[in-house]
Structure 1
Amino acid sequence: MKDSYREGKIIINEEVAKGVFKLILEGNFTGAPGQFYMLRGWNGLDPFLPRPISIADIEDGRLTLLYEVRGKGTHIISKLSPGDSLSLLGPLGNGFGKINGDRMALVSGGIGIAPLLYLAKEMDAQVDLYSGFRNGPYFMEEFKPFVNEIKVSTEDGTFGHKGFVTELLIPENYDAVISCGPMPMMEALKDQCRDKTELMLSMESHMACGIGACLGCTIQTIRGMERVCKEGPVFNAREVIFHD
């Protein structure tokens, strides 16, 4: 892990869906699937906090990130152009590590698809991708060389299965399921996979420092409160407590 911010030069910063951007940065970047970087694309203290963005891919030292415009920080980043620079801290957090098995399912909801591309590229297994969106899908083409099958759901029925992506998954068909997305989706997956197969979750939480110092991103686990940025963001679903 790098312990100080460094600069990354923007190669691509393009909108791939409404409010969703693919950002590619030039530099000697490193990191493992499931890790993330903290980004600052502005000078001064407004916004005060950097933004945590999952690694979507690293190839030849170039870092690919996928982010959704949700507030002032990501709005500022979305207005940057090729040739502009960003400040980055990372790679941070604990990634997916080695997941044993011959057949794997990756399950994403919305922008949760971001960290699963790098994982799909690195897995030595047959991988199926299940992706859920509110409406039109995005980032699908990038997965095609690395997965066996892609199944898509949209809540409004404009593409693929109408409904939730969890309705498409048969957990017992897989040695493990790996997921990133909204909390309700991952909580439903925990119930769905219980006693059927292993489930790994990449958790999301509001972060301030990204290095475990501020305790602002804690979640409840069977061991007590743990930091998403330090002990996570990847947890075994058996460890995560969604409700008291």
Structure 2
Amino acid sequence: MQYKSLDVLENVMVAENIYKLTLKGEYEVKPGQFFMLKSWEDEPILSRPFSIYDKGEDYISFLYEVKGKGTEKLSRLKKEDKVKVLGPLGNGMDVSRIKGKVALIGGGIGIAPLAYFAKKIEADVDIYFGFRDEVYGIENLRNKELFITTKSGRVGYKGYVTDIFNPFDYNLVITCGPLVMMNKVKRICEKTATPLYLLMESKMACGIGACLVCACKTKDGMRRVCKDGPIFKGEEVVLDA
């Protein structure tokens, strides 16, 4: 697998320090997969991993938060600029097999891959998204049952998504976001034996399983988020958060 150079179609700020980057390209992808992106020649040396937020016939979109040198350089991109892209990577999920009622629980930038899950899952889906203050990334979810929480109370319920989520209502839960949030979702689902999948996020160097930078702790030892994941069964992963 080699990097490809794709044109920028759009790169817009959708909330404070949150951007949506849309690239021109045709890909076959599964929900949960990710890409390695790089738009610079010098520092930082490494590419950055980004989950798939949305995809059409001739485009693919990513949500990202500006947190360091790499994402700051991405935020400067304009239409028709070039981005080096490697992917799709990771295991992804065959959502055609999902039955019953599903809860998607996301926090912060972890909502990005879950938005694409919501678009592709044909089963009954409820979405629980938690934000600090500003709400973003929900424009494609208007026809879904959507529950919003904000830490500030600015929009929706004041508090956390784990405060309003009832696992007894669901046949399957998929979660992505801060480790503290995912760990709480994991404990809640364990009490009710509700099947759970964790969509792990991690710093990565290669994205193809060669460097072991993104290893996470599981009951069977260390596993690579990029190659063995990023989707893991809830009972597999040991979260220290």
- What TM-score bracket applies, with the shorter chain setting the length? over 0.9
Matches within 5 A, 1:186-201: 186-196=182-192, 197-201=194-198
Q: Return structure 1 stretches of 4+ with deviation > 2 angstroms.
A: 96-101
Offset at residue 61 of structure 1 (A) = 2.6
AA matched with 2:174: I
Return 5+ residue gaps in structure 2 as ranges.
none
AA matched with 2:199: S
Q: Structure 2 length normalisation: TM-score?
A: 0.96
* Mapped partners of 1:218, 1:156: distance in 2: 34
Would you say 1:220 and 2:205 are equivalent positions?
Answer: no
Match of 1:13 in 2: 11
Matches within 5 A, 1:163-202: 163-196=159-192, 197-202=194-199
AA matched with 2:35: Y
Would you say 1:109 and 2:116 are equivalent positions?
Answer: no
Offset at residue 243 of structure 1 (A) = 3.3
AA matched with 1:43: E
* Mapped partners of 2:110, 2:28: distance in 1: 21
* Mapped partners of 1:20, 1:243: distance in 2: 27
Query: Which shifted more, 194-203 or 179-188?
Result: 194-203
Return 5+ residue gaps in structure 1 as ranges.
none
* Mapped partners of 1:68, 1:88: distance in 2: 18
Would you say 1:237 and 2:237 are equivalent positions?
Answer: no
3-state SS in 1 of match to 2:140: helix
* Mapped partners of 1:61, 1:102: distance in 2: 31
* Mapped partners of 1:235, 1:61: distance in 2: 29
Q: Structure 1 length normalisation: TM-score?
A: 0.95
AA matched with 1:176: L
Q: Is the 8 A contact 2:22 2:62 kept in 1?
A: yes
3-state SS in 1 of match to 2:212: coil
Q: Is the 8 A contact 2:176 2:200 kept in 1?
A: yes
RMSD between aligned residues: 1.2
Q: Is the 8 A contact 1:105 1:128 kept in 2?
A: yes
Match of 1:92 in 2: 89
Match of 1:51 in 2: 48
3-state SS in 1 of match to 2:186: helix
Match of 2:146 in 1: 150
Q: C-alpha offsets along residues 93-145 of structure 1, whole Å, 9 cap, x if unaligned?
A: 01133453221111000100100122111112111110000112111221113
* Mapped partners of 2:152, 2:132: distance in 1: 6
* Mapped partners of 1:4, 1:176: distance in 2: 35
